[in-house]
Structure 1
């Protein structure tokens, strides 16, 4: 049977097996036309037919939960759902982009801007003048180091081998003078910058970058002063065992050998706010890695600019009439829409700053410790989020404020209160000063908004995190397993996307637009 299908039935021990083959297949006794490499014909032996399948096989042999049930032994992989969510996110945003362009057209304009030459000139001037206060801190520490060398020499030359009462008074006097000099220096740096930004720089972006630079240098200068104060104390009290408390890493550059200009310049550029005489360093610079991070910074910066101009600006303008008429449903819809846009821009800014910029800077400086953030997106409470999303700031306040207060007998709750108070003030300076809305009134005739005072939104948004942290902290301590983690993470994301800092930043941007920007022009037209 060459053209038909052949079927053979073989019986063995009462069982039957069925084998099928096409007419073009060779039988077991037919020679195979194939040859091996030597030209010798070879035969192919077919596999032995298996036994007939029985319909009595046991399928349900044990008790098993559904894979999505909480009592399942192993959690299933959600990679497929993740891929689906990415596709839905991309498709949904493409639809919104098309709808936005059809409704408003292309709003991106390279030449359209609200900044002036004065903003640029003052911003550049402050950029170069702000580090001078760090240089002033270096000169203060250089004088203190010279004083410490002389004091230690006098102590070693004394018959008692220890500091006399007069020398101890000199130690204290030097400490007081150095502390006041540092306090005046860092306060002057922040006050001058804040005054210029608030009264002279109009554009909020330029003001924010300038204020961010000033706050970073302010924190670095304070860390430089605090750390060298403790190192100087250990240097002057070797008999009391103070030097044993200094980390072993610092022995590579002990005090006062660390008081050099090159050491200060490295700390100025290092992607950290905490001063150390020595940092872990890598062996070489990976320039390809740097180029990739720079490309990410450029791409994300363009994305944030496009998202702000094409999406945030129309939503802000269209929100004005809804808020003025107290249309609550429309206000809620606009609030959710603003929260979505602010979240997307915030996430892009987070990645550009903490992943791309800080890693590129660390690679150029061969800075080894690059733990700039942890997996804050998995936070089970607001407290876990604040500990993981911005580790340079978290480690700074833990080292220079929280732990010293705990060491002096303060309770953890009181120390946390002070930390959040200082952080709230810095947030207000960072956001409220560049937008000129620390305390301001909105002018909108014919609306309940007219005369409304906006004061300390960033401060309140940061300071009110304390009760929210207290509410979500029990979820960290409760042994609820997977359910508790889901509930805590959900509460975190809801509070973060709607009531968090992104919304406060948009409130300031909204107020700035209402007073100075394009929304202000629209309000003037409406009122006239």
Structure 2
């Protein structure tokens, strides 16, 4: 008996331990994990509705559900719809892509190449102007200490010199844009070649302006030394006029920025594998854009000509909606190809450190946020050389913003109207129309309720990508056809 008691004692101890833990849990009001809940024998009286709960999509819900499934559904629906359009396009038109079927004229290629190569000469002309002005500034600074009257005389000389310098810079920049625009409008027929030349001229024009304005302020700071000159610390490593060198100018010419600085943040080395990947992305996306344009966008545009000619509003709206999907895909591909692939590759080669060429513009809760997030190089130029100086002169922020968009509207119309040989004002009006849209969506940006930001983001997408771009493409294509294509032959 004793041995039997010894053999069963471990089991007895375990049972006693379980009983003790259960009693302790019951005494403290806790439910023991070892105690199974008692199941009622009345199965039809279970209290499934025992607390206040809200539907998952209700605003009163205690938690916000994930919409990942809906996102997956929308992606699948978009893929299915676009596959249907691809099949329909192929059944209706066949393969429209033809490498040899182009309308490039030899004169367009020759003139475009010469023009593209000559445009940077204006930037080097700006360097010569600044080199001469810097020499005069160094002579003035190198003289011994002067009286107040002599300093006042130097200021008058500086203002007089700046007038001549500003005149030469203005003449040089104007010739850069005017000569290019004249040649493109009257002698280069192909809009693609003309667009590349005009875009290059506008970029160089902006760089010339930034180069002139920045060196003007640096020169003024040199002639008026003080304990706190008000210059950023980054300029200390290359003060004026040491920055007026051909190497410094060449770096600014090739750097992916429109804002001149004597010094830029630099990376330590070049990652050539990174450059190769970005260039491969740029090349692949360029081919993708060409395929979409030739196979899908061109038929929609051609089929819209007769509808626009007779002002069939319903058909025009249908064409705009149909073109919106294609233009949106092309625009997004172009954004990634330019701002993510090409500019990053160029920045890596130049070891250019600041690569914030854009921010999350796709989340813009207003049109103002979009224009501050999209195309940061142009935004920074406008803010630094147009908006801030005007506000500093006493202009109101609204008036300064109006001047920024006026200048941007002129440049947009030149970029589109000159290569297509049609100044119809659509790009100009479209840019100016951004001002009232910014005013309308600005309160939505400041709302605490997330719904306001959602509404603002929807207004941005609808106004810019679903209506603005497709409608603009239709109108400029119709103007081109009216001047050179099928519409002109119908008359």
Do residues 412 (structure 1) and 392 (structure 2) align?
Answer: no
Shift of 1:50: 7.6
Do residues 125 (structure 1) and 123 (structure 2) align?
Answer: no
Shift of 1:225: 0.4
Structure 1 pair 171–49 and aligned structure 2 pair: CA distance change class (3 A) = closer
Q: 1:432 aligns with which of 398, 411, 417?
A: 417
State the match for 1:512 in structure 2: 480
Larger RCO: Structure 1 or Structure 2 (Cα < 8 Å, ≥ 6 residues apart)? 2
State the match for 2:290 in structure 1: 305
Q: 1:143 aligns with which of 132, 144, 165?
A: 132
Is the deviation greater in 163-172 or in 271-280? 163-172
State the match for 1:207 in structure 2: 194
What is the distance in 2 between the residues matched to 1:196 and 1:487? 45
Structure 1 pair 255–58 and aligned structure 2 pair: CA distance change class (3 A) = farther
Contiguous gaps of at least 5 residues in structure 2: 1-14, 17-32
What is the distance in 2 between the residues matched to 1:361 and 1:94? 35
Contiguous gaps of at least 5 residues in structure 1: 1-11, 14-47, 439-454
1:333-371, Cα deviation, whole Å (9 max, x unpaired): 112112222222111111111111111111111111111
Shift of 1:163: 4.5
What is the distance in 1 between the residues matched to 2:252 and 2:367? 31
State the match for 2:79 in structure 1: 90
What is the distance in 2 between the residues matched to 1:327 and 1:506? 13
What is the distance in 2 between the residues matched to 1:300 and 1:68? 39
Is the deviation greater in 53-62 or in 102-111? 53-62
Do residues 250 (structure 1) and 219 (structure 2) align?
Answer: no
What is the distance in 2 between the residues matched to 1:282 and 1:77? 40
- Larger fraction in strand: 1
Residues 126 and 193 in structure 1, CA contact (< 8 A), matched pair in contact too = yes
Do residues 334 (structure 1) and 319 (structure 2) align?
Answer: yes
Write out aligned runs for 1:45-64 (5 A). 51=36, 54=39, 63-64=52-53
Do residues 186 (structure 1) and 187 (structure 2) align?
Answer: no
RMSD of equivalent CA atoms: 2.3
Do residues 458 (structure 1) and 434 (structure 2) align?
Answer: no
1:51-91, Cα deviation, whole Å (9 max, x unpaired): 36636987667655444333445543333332332222222
What is the distance in 2 between the residues matched to 1:87 and 1:390? 30
Residues 461 and 501 in structure 1, CA contact (< 8 A), matched pair in contact too = no
Structure 1 pair 54–361 and aligned structure 2 pair: CA distance change class (3 A) = farther
Structure 1 pair 69–278 and aligned structure 2 pair: CA distance change class (3 A) = farther
What is the distance in 1 between the residues matched to 2:391 and 2:225? 25
1:449-491, Cα deviation, whole Å (9 max, x unpaired): xxxxxx2111111111111212222212333x11111111111
Structure 1 pair 355–62 and aligned structure 2 pair: CA distance change class (3 A) = farther
Structure 1 pair 142–58 and aligned structure 2 pair: CA distance change class (3 A) = farther
State the match for 1:113 in structure 2: 102
1:238-278, Cα deviation, whole Å (9 max, x unpaired): 04x5x530100111111111111111001001111000111
What is the distance in 2 between the residues matched to 1:105 and 1:430? 33
State the match for 1:471 in structure 2: 440
Write out aligned runs for 1:10-409 (5 A). 51=36, 54=39, 63-72=52-61, 74-154=63-143, 157-160=144-147, 163-239=150-226, 241=227, 244-409=229-394
Structure 1 pair 319–364 and aligned structure 2 pair: CA distance change class (3 A) = same
Structure 1 pair 71–139 and aligned structure 2 pair: CA distance change class (3 A) = farther
Is the deviation greater in 313-322 or in 412-421? 313-322
What is the distance in 2 between the residues matched to 1:324 and 1:506? 12
**What is the TM-score normalised by the length of structure 1?**
0.82
Task: Name the SS for the 2:229 alignment partner.
Answer: helix
What is the distance in 2 between the residues matched to 1:339 and 1:205? 21
What is the distance in 2 between the residues matched to 1:258 and 1:301? 37
What is the distance in 2 between the residues matched to 1:149 and 1:505? 53
Residues 140 and 182 in structure 1, CA contact (< 8 A), matched pair in contact too = yes
**What is the TM-score normalised by the length of structure 2?**
0.88
What is the distance in 2 between the residues matched to 1:367 and 1:53? 71
Residues 278 and 342 in structure 2, CA contact (< 8 A), matched pair in contact too = yes
Q: 1:422 aligns with which of 396, 407, 422?
A: 407
Residues 361 and 370 in structure 2, CA contact (< 8 A), matched pair in contact too = yes
Residues 123 and 210 in structure 1, CA contact (< 8 A), matched pair in contact too = yes
- Larger fraction in helix: 2
What is the distance in 1 between the residues matched to 2:415 and 2:319? 25
Q: 2:461 aligns with which of 474, 481, 493?
A: 493
What is the distance in 2 between the residues matched to 1:254 and 1:491? 46
Residues 458 and 501 in structure 1, CA contact (< 8 A), matched pair in contact too = no
Is the deviation greater in 466-475 or in 76-85? 76-85
What is the distance in 1 between the residues matched to 2:311 and 2:161? 61
